[in-house]
A and B are shown apart, each in its own frame.
Chain A
Amino acid sequence: METLKHMFKSNIREYGMVIALVSIMLFFQIVSKGVLLMPLNVTNLIQQNSYILVLAIGMLLVIVAFHIDLSVGSMAAFIGAMSAILMVDNHIGVMSGIVISLLLGALAGAWQGYWISYFKIPSFIVTLAGMLTFRGLTMTILEGQSKGPYPESFQKISNGFMPDFFAGTGIHITTLVVGIVLSLIYIYFELSHRKAKQEYDFDVIPLQFLIIKLVIVCLAINWFMYLLALYKGIPNVLILLFVLIVFYTFITTKTVVGRHIYALGGNEKAAKLSGVKTQRIVFWVFVNMGVLAALSGLVFAARLNVATPKAGMGFELDAIAACFIGGASTAGGIGVVMGAIIGGLVMGVMNNGMSLIGVTIDMQQTIKGLVLLLAVAFDIYTKSKQS
């Protein structure tokens, strides 16, 4: 019991976020009389929030590096517009259209990254300028009009589902199989991790706690997959998100470059004197943000099946809020990818839940603002208590 208490106390921020998300979900599940977690609505939730979550992942790296990016919404709109020109007007293939769009995103990110890291202009200014510039470019190239429709295969990014290889009727069998496979992979990783620790004679959590944890996580995975299976199965965009989350969690926690991002966000001078190439890393963090903003723009355009000049309005603020609700520090150096995802989901579930029970859009804004404030206040409060 003592170890459990200690574990909980030292990880209160991480568990706190999950608990908050679960409570918010339960609350809306009850007040919406079960609509929130209906299979159709769960699928909707994922599709509606996917483009914000993609941005939140990139934004987390930016915020950990002690910068900010206000331009991502405009950049997403700009890349969406470019993709429409490529694929709708010029009929270049979907594959090459996507690749070129992502490269353009990288280029846009490199443009901003250059001014920020090598020219030492504060990222707030550079990306504020970018927010205006890319919005203006979007308006210009679209001539104020919406452009669509996209080829059908492109729309599948956002609206498509994984096919059912087992031809189930009424329930999507492949989805259930994926759930089981994921559970097994998860159990394998936890156990091999534990074994490696034991080989080094390090402390490991007691076996009974590990088993409880494994059971809870596996139940959650399979229950979630079951909900999806009751509708049309796994949305394509969820696969994309899953790959991104795994990839960026790996980068931030396991690699040298990930360490360097955290170090430079925590104390840039000390990091530089320890041999971290701070300028180069900041530059690449913004290039990465550009690629993810482009991806987000593509997902959004595919979902609407049209590129519009107003796309991506306010996305940057949602992505930033997701990071801070998810525990990233405003002083840099602190934050995890999963936190940003959970922060994004907290806002997504609240949006969706409030719409379900008929809260007006104006009131929704107010409540979301208060949640952001409270989340950060809680963060600062727990930190001041710890020290």
Chain B
Amino acid sequence: MEDVILDMMHITKSFPGVKALNNVNLQVKKGEIHALVGENGAGKSTLMKVLSGVYPHGTYTGEIRYNGKLCEFKDIKESEKLGIVIIHQELALIPYLSIAENIFLGNEQGKNGLIDWHATTAHTKELLVKVGLHELPTTLITNIGVGKQQLVEIAKALSKKVQLLILDEPTAALNEDDSDNLLKLLLAFKKQGISSILISHKLSEVSRIADTITVLRDGSTIETLNVREDNITEDRIIKGMVGRELTDRYPKREVAIGEIIFEVKDWSVYHPLHGDRKIIHNARLTVKQGEVVGIAGLMGAGRTELAMSIFGKSYGQKISGYMYKNGIEIHVNNVSQAIAQGIAYVTEDRKQYGLILNEDIKRNATLANLNKISRNFIVDENKEILVAEKSRHQMNIKCSSILQKTMNLSGGNQQKVVLSKWIFTEPDVLILDEPTRGIDVGAKFEIYSIINNLAKEGKGILLISSELPEILGMCDRVYVMSEGRITGELAQSEASQERIMKYVMSK
């Protein structure tokens, strides 16, 4: 099989508590565009990190054959030497260096530590022609748009004599025209014999340019589809991506839904730095007492931005719209007001935004509502210990004591501390943003049980999640967001993975 450039066989990669890849196979032919699709967390990025050597040989099991030779990459340099270049979703360019300097960064043209600027400029010009970018080599990266920056990344890849180009969501941040250009460029490379692996959520472009599609789900290869021979539709791909059975990974709950407790109407938000970019477009949502309402969508659909802008205007500017609690309009301008109105927000990034990592469980658990255990602004530390012990018991936080620093807890237990903190504020509405991200299965079940208990107490829950089974398993009603808009609303009875996916992909 001399026309196979890459053969990854039986790749298994584990992180503490999670099997990210389980016996994955991927075969890429020479000169083809191979698309890799799957939900968030299916293992696409992990697989590419294994391939490029970000996770070095020995941290995974399985075999990688490249041009028929067995490869054991220790780092990313070794894979690049063989022409495997990965372009990440977040571009790795230095904004205040020129295009030429960026292209040859780490691979400077010259001798003895001196840079040959003539050679650099000349080579850059050649590369820019190849990728169809009409800019001077001396232009600073910060002065060109994202689409052109993407092209600079590709030029950088070409400068490394690329044979296998890996693009992770290259068009996620691009507009229609720029995406189109980029896809055409990939087709041109194909003619020159360069193979590409394209990771993308945009199934329309996948079915348009890919020759082969490999579907990953839950860290396993599900199927490999031949686009040219079989007639592959988008629906067919979606079925592969989500087609799994729901087992009882979700605890049962007696549903008792009451009146509307919280409502947001005509909610619009602009980007905090770029005041002309509208991030949320006239969103409207309601939550009833005892109801768990899901918000589905891809990363970047604006779910976190919506939640944070509701929570005391913690995101964005020029926020407009109406907010009602129990039918009465409320105004929430900062986090303390939000807490006072009984709104709580559990962040998706517990280390950056959720916890004071160098402080202990006790102090983290009480931080958002210190007044409750204080008199005349003096904290009663004995009461604090009681509160923390109670949370530890109720949430089943596994720790040596409540004086343990939160940085030394596992992800699941950290999440329980964050939840404790917000439950201690006695909220009526809880917004949970990806509450089970990066948590192992056992702890997930515990978190789900906590959510169900909160709903049983009559609180309204908004559950943001990228995992569709979680949305379907937990929620009474689902909103779907795409590109800053709420594109669909489904009751539990009508919700299915396929239907949600359709709204996710719609514009």
**Contact between B355 and A267, CB atoms less than 8 A apart:** yes
Tell me if B54 is interfacial: C-beta within 8 Å of chain A: no
- Contact status A270-B314, CB under 8 Å: no
CA distance A277 to B336 in the complex (A): 8
Instruction: Verify A263–B386 contact, CB threshold 8 A.
Output: no
Q: Is there an interface contact between B382 and A329, defined as CB atoms closer than 8 Å?
A: no
Q: Measured between C-beta atoms, what is the minimum distance from B243 to chain A in Å?
A: 38
A333 near B: Cβ within 8 Å? yes
Closest to B425 in A: A275
Segment with Cβ contacts to B, from A160-168, A194-202, A234-242, A294-302: A194-202
Stretch of B214-222, B345-353, B468-476, B495-503 with 4 or more beta carbons under 8 angstroms from chain A: B345-353
Across the interface, do B353 and A196 meet the contact criterion of CB distance under 8 Å?
A: no
B376 and chain A: residue at smallest CB distance: A255
Instruction: Tell me if B359 and A333 are in contact (CB < 8 A).
Output: yes
Most chain A CB neighbours (cut-off 10 Å) among B334, B347, B356: B356
Within 8 A of B (CB), among A256-295: 256-257, 259-260, 262-263, 266-267, 269-277
A385 sits at the interface (CB 8 A) = no
A200 contacts which chain B residues (CB < 8 A)? 382, 385-386
Q: Is B227 an interface residue (CB 8 A)?
A: no
Chain B residue numbers with a CB within 8 Å of A277 are 334, 336
Within the assembled complex, what's the spacing in Å between the Cα atoms of A387 and B367? 24
Q: Are A255's CB and B358's CB within 8 A?
A: no
Cβ-based interface call for B146 (8 A):
no
Chain B residues with CB below 8 A from A387, complex form:
407-408
Identify which of A197, A256, A257, A271 contacts B356 (C-beta below 8 A): A271
B363 sits at the interface (CB 8 A):
yes
Contacts of A196 in B (CB 8 A): 382
Contact among B311, B357, B381, B421 for A267, CB-based, below 8 A: B357
Is the CB of A142 closer than 8 A to any CB of chain B?
Answer: no
B339 in contact (CB, < 8 A): yes
A5 within 8 A of B: no
Nearest B residue to A202, CB-CB: B385
Confirm or deny: B264 has a beta carbon within 8 angstroms of a beta carbon on chain A.
Answer: no
Docked pose: A256 CA to B381 CA in angstroms: 11
- CB neighbors of A among B315-350 (8 A): 334-336, 338-339, 345, 347
User: Are A266 and B358 in touch, CB under 8 angstroms?
Assistant: yes
Q: Does A334 contact B (CB under 8 A)?
A: yes
Q: What 0/1 pattern do residues 355 to 390 of B give for CB contact below 8 A with A? A: 111110001000110110010011101100110000
- A275 in contact with B368 (CB, 8 Å): yes
**Smallest Cβ distance from B393 to chain A, in angstroms?**
14
The answer to whether B353 touches A270 (Cβ under 8 A) is: yes
Taken together as a complex, chains A and B put the C-alpha atoms of A202 and B402 apart, in Å, by: 12
A267 touches B356 (CB 8 A): yes
User: Interface residue tally of chain A, by bracket?
Assistant: 20 to 34
B377 contacts A270, CB within 8 Å? no
A262–B370 CA distance with the chains assembled, in angstroms: 13
Chain A 147-204 residues near chain B, CB threshold 8 A: 196-197, 200, 202
Which residues of A have CB within 8 Å of B382? 196-197, 200, 202
Given known A202-B385, A254-B378, contact A273–B359 (CB-CB < 8 A):
no
Asked if B354 is at the interface of the complex by the 8 Å CB criterion, the answer is yes
CB pair B336–A259 under 8 Å, yes or no, is no
Docked CA distance A256–B373 (Å): 10
Q: Distance in Å from the Cβ of A386 to the closest Cβ of chain B?
A: 9
Q: Which of A255, A271, A275 contacts B379 (CB 8 A)?
A: A255
**Which single residue of chain A is at the shortest CB-CB distance from B336?**
A275
Q: Determine the distance from Cα of A331 to Cα of B345 in the docked complex, in whole angstroms.
A: 26
The answer for the CA separation of A334 and B370 in the assembled complex, in Å, is: 19
Residues of B near A273 (CB, < 8 A) are 311, 314, 335, 345, 347, 353-354
Contacts of A274 in B (CB 8 A): 335, 367-368, 421
Prevailing SS type, chain B contact patch: helix
The contact string, 1 if C-beta is below 8 Å from chain A, for chain B 271-286, is: 0000000000000000
B377 touches which one: A255, A263, A267, A329 (CB < 8 A)? A255
Contact flags B434-467 to A (C-beta < 8 A → 1, else 0): 0000000000000000000000000000000000
Which of A197, A200, A270 has the most chain B CB atoms closer than 10 A to its own CB?
Answer: A270
Q: CB within 8 Å of A: which of B122-140? A: none
User: Which residue of the partner chain B has the closest CB to A264?
Assistant: B356
Chain B residue nearest in CB terms to A266: B356
Determine the chain B residues whose CB is within 8 A of the CB of A260 once the complex forms. 370
**Cross-chain contact B379 with A270 (CB below 8 angstroms):** no
Query: Separation in Å of the A115 CB from the closest CB of chain B?
Result: 21
In whole angstroms, how far apart are the Cα atoms of A259 and B386 in the complex? 18
A271 near B367: Cβ-Cβ < 8 Å: yes
Is the CB–CB distance between A259 and B363 below 8 Å?
yes
> Chain A contacts of B368 at CB under 8 A?
274-275
Given the known interface contacts A196-B382, A200-B385, A275-B339, the answer about A257 and B377 at a Cβ–Cβ threshold of 8 Å is yes
Q: Could you tell me the distance between the alpha carbons of A19 and B356 in the complex, rounded to whole angstroms?
A: 30
Q: How far is the CA of A254 from the CA of B378 in the complex (A)?
A: 6
Given contacts A333-B359, A334-B358, contact A276 B367 (CB under 8 A): yes
Whether A259 touches B367, Cβ cut-off 8 Å, given contacts A270-B354, A333-B356, is yes
In the complex, the answer to whether B335 meets A270 with C-beta atoms within 8 Å is no
Do B377 and A256 touch (CB < 8 A)?
yes
Most buried by A among B314, B379, B407: B379
- Least CB distance, B402 to chain A, in whole angstroms: 11
CA–CA, A87 and B414, complex, Å: 58
Residue of A nearest to B346 (CB): A273
Q: How far is the CB of B38 from chain A (nearest CB, A)?
A: 31
| Set of chain B residues within 8 Å of A269, measured between Cβ atoms | 352-353
Interface centre among A256, A272, A329, A333 (most CB of B within 10 A): A256
Closest partner residue, chain B, to A267 (CB atom): B356
Please report the C-alpha to C-alpha distance between residue A257 and residue B374 in the assembled complex, in whole angstroms: 11
A residues near B352, Cβ cutoff 8 Å: 267, 269-270
Query: A263 is contacted by which of B335, B356, B371 (Cβ under 8 Å)?
Result: B356
A197 neighbours in B (Cβ, 8 Å) = 382
In chain A, positions 325-341 with a C-beta closer than 8 Å to chain B are: 329, 331, 333-334
> Whole-angstrom distance between the alpha carbons of A304 and B431 in the complex?
61
A262 and B336 form a contact (CB under 8 A): no
Set of chain B residues within 8 Å of A254, measured between Cβ atoms: 378-379, 381
Complex CA distance for A20 and B485, rounded to whole angstroms:
62
**Cα of A200 to Cα of B383 in the assembled complex, Å:** 9
- Do residues A275 and B335 form an inter-chain contact, with CB atoms below 8 A? yes
- Inter-subunit contact A263/B367 (CB<8 Å): yes
Task: Take A272-B335, A275-B368 as given contacts and tell me if A255 and B356 are in contact as well, using a CB distance cutoff of 8 Å.
Answer: no
Kindly provide the distance from the CB of A259 to the nearest chain B CB, expressed in whole angstroms.
Answer: 6
Complex alpha-carbon distance, A263 and B311, angstroms? 20
Closest residue of chain B to A387, judged by CB?
B408
**Which chain A positions have C-beta within 8 A of B408?**
387
> Which residue of B347, B354, B359, B407 has the most chain A CB atoms within 10 A of its CB atom?
B359
Q: How far is the CA of A266 from the CA of B407 in the complex (A)?
A: 12
Task: Determine the distance from Cα of A186 to Cα of B129 in the docked complex, in whole angstroms.
Answer: 80
Once the chains are docked, how many angstroms separate the CA of A208 from the CA of B339? 46
Instruction: State the Cβ distance, A288 to closest chain B Cβ, in Å.
Output: 16
Q: In the complex, what distance in Å separates the CA atom of A193 from the CA atom of B358?
A: 26
The reply to whether B358 and A270 contact each other, CB–CB distance below 8 Å, is no
* Nearest chain A CB to B342 CB, angstrom units: 13
Known pairs A256-B371, A256-B377, A270-B355; list 5 more (Cβ under 8 Å): A200-B382, A255-B378, A260-B370, A274-B367, A275-B334
Q: What are 23 A-B contacts with C-beta separation under 8 Å?
A: A196-B382, A255-B379, A256-B370, A256-B379, A257-B377, A259-B370, A262-B359, A262-B363, A263-B363, A263-B367, A266-B357, A267-B355, A269-B353, A270-B356, A272-B335, A273-B311, A273-B314, A274-B335, A275-B312, A275-B336, A275-B368, A277-B336, A387-B407
**Residues of chain B having any CB pair with chain A under 8 Å:** 311-312, 314, 334-336, 338-339, 345, 347, 352-359, 363, 367-368, 370-371, 374, 377-379, 381-382, 385-386, 407-408, 421
Q: 3 closest A-B pairs (Cβ-Cβ)?
A: A266-B356, A274-B368, A275-B336
